[in-house]
């Protein structure tokens, strides 16, 4: 009996020691509020919280002094542990750490209509519908001609008509589509990297008071903003035999044309029958002839 009691005491002591090391409250740094990737961690964004030692990650930070003005590479919800694995240097943290090789981050201008009424959020994918006007092309062509003249590039020589034999009449050329605004889904599957806070649509809870309504109204007052997108740089074919860099196309549409962002389903956009370019001139003629 004495031996059994001795073994029981030893086992009891070991169990108590093991439990003490597992459930002993230990202070650890956690996020005080929700934090986005790229946020520089400061003391006012984190707090010390006592949790059982057995549930703390090995690389969790135990003191504010360990932050060293680092940035988050992964978003954190309120109460999540701040670990070394989610921190990084400023140059490699945030949006740069989310980009795959051959991808760049680009911002495009949007308003409430072209930006889906502020419903866009990070991680969603969008299609870019681009619009180009012939006025833009004519203006750019005029600028190019003027630049060539300023650089002394001679214009093509055209021989004068001296009353010689009349050329044989040629067949009537095929009618060309009218010059009008063109619209087309230019790029799809672009991932959203950043939506400014003041451009986000916010719903008020049913029991909100007038103070909250004023706050939300003020914070959502911005009707124009920019959206940061993850854009590939590998050339894609946008017309038969015409390849273009998506980043260049997006920048050109944003600067010289117009674009709308269209929110895609969670499983991606499926375009049955291919992508068709809309010519507003042809649409007008078709509708006008159908009257």
Share of the chain above pLDDT 90, in %: 18
β-pair type (25-31, 278-279):
unpaired
| Most confident region among 77-86, 133-142, 171-180, 253-262 by mean pLDDT | 253-262
Tokens standing for 233? 């740089």
As a whole number, the mean pLDDT across the chain is 77
Work out the average pLDDT over 175-197: 81
Q: Which residues make Cβ contacts (< 8 Å) with residue 243, sequence separation at least 6?
A: 235, 236, 237
Q: Residue 240 — pLDDT band, cuts 50, 70, 90?
A: confident
Determine the average pLDDT of the residues in 171-191: 76
Q: What is the pLDDT averaged over residues 195-210?
A: 69
Q: What is the mean pLDDT of residues 188-217?
A: 69
Return the pLDDT at 101: 92
- In terms of pLDDT, which residue wins out, 43 or 7? 43
pLDDT-based confidence at residue 82 (cuts at 50, 70, 90): confident
Note the pTM of the prediction, 2 decimals.
0.58
Q: Is 21 helix (H, G, I), strand (E, B) or coil?
A: helix
Q: How many CA atoms lie within 13 A of 39 on its CB side?
A: 18
Distance CA 98, CA 105 (A): 10
Q: Which residue has the higher pLDDT, 128 or 222?
A: 128
Structure tokens at 111: 């308003």
pLDDT at 215: 45
pLDDT of 232 above 50: yes
Average pLDDT, stretch 197-214? 63
Report the distance separating Cα 95 and Cα 92, nearest Å. Answer: 8
CB 252 within 8 A of CB 137: no
* For range 117-129, the mean pLDDT: 91
pLDDT over 70 (residue 261): yes
pLDDT at position 175: 55
> Can you tell me the mean pLDDT for 21-49?
80
* Mean predicted confidence (pLDDT) in 196-212: 66
Rounded to 5 degrees, what angle do the CA atoms 222, 225, 231 make?
A: 155
Terminal Cα-to-Cα distance of the chain (whole angstroms): 108
Domain with CATH 3.90.1210.10 in the chain: 23-94
pLDDT exceeds cutoff 90 at 28: no
Given the structure tokens 């750019």, which residue do they identify? Answer: 140
Does residue 137 register a pLDDT over 70? no
Q: Map 186-208 to HEC letters.
A: EEEEEEEEECCHHHCCCCCCCCC
CATH-assigned architecture of domain 23-94? Alpha-Beta Complex (3.90)
């Amino acid at each position: 009996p004495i031996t059994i009691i001795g073994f029981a005491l030893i086992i009891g002591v070991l169990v108590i020691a093991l439990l003490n090391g597992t459930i002993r409250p230990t202070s650890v740094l956690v996020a005080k509020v929700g934090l986005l990737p790229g946020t520089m961690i400061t003391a006012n964004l984190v707090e010390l919280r006592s949790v059982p030692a057995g549930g703390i990650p090995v690389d969790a930070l135990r003191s504010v002094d360990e932050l060293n003005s680092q940035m988050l590479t992964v978003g954190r919800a309120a109460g999540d542990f701040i670990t070394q694995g989610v921190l990084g240097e400023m140059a490699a943290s945030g949006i740069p750490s989310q980009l795959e090789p051959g991808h760049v981050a680009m911002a495009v201008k949007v308003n409430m209509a072209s930006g889906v009424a502020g419903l866009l959020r990070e991680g969603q994918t969008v299609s870019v519908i681009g619009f180009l006007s012939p006025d833009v092309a004519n203006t750019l062509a005029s600028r190019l001609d003027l630049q060539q003249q300023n650089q002394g590039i001679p214009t093509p020589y055209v021989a004068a008509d001296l009353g010689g034999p009349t050329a044989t009449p040629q067949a009537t050329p095929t009618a060309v589509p009218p010059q009008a605004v063109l619209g087309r889904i230019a790029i799809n599957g672009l991932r959203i990297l950043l939506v400014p806070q003041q451009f986000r649509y916010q719903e008020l809870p049913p029991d909100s008071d007038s103070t909250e309504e004023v706050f939300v109204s003020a914070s959502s007052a911005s009707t124009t903003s920019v959206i940061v997108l993850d854009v590939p740089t590998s050339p894609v074919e946008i017309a038969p035999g015409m390849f273009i860099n998506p980043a260049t196309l997006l920048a050109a549409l944003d600067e010289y044309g117009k674009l709308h962002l269209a929110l895609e389903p969670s499983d991606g956009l499926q375009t049955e029958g291919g992508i068709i370019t809309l010519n507003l001139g042809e649409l007008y003629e078709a509708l006008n002839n159908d009257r």
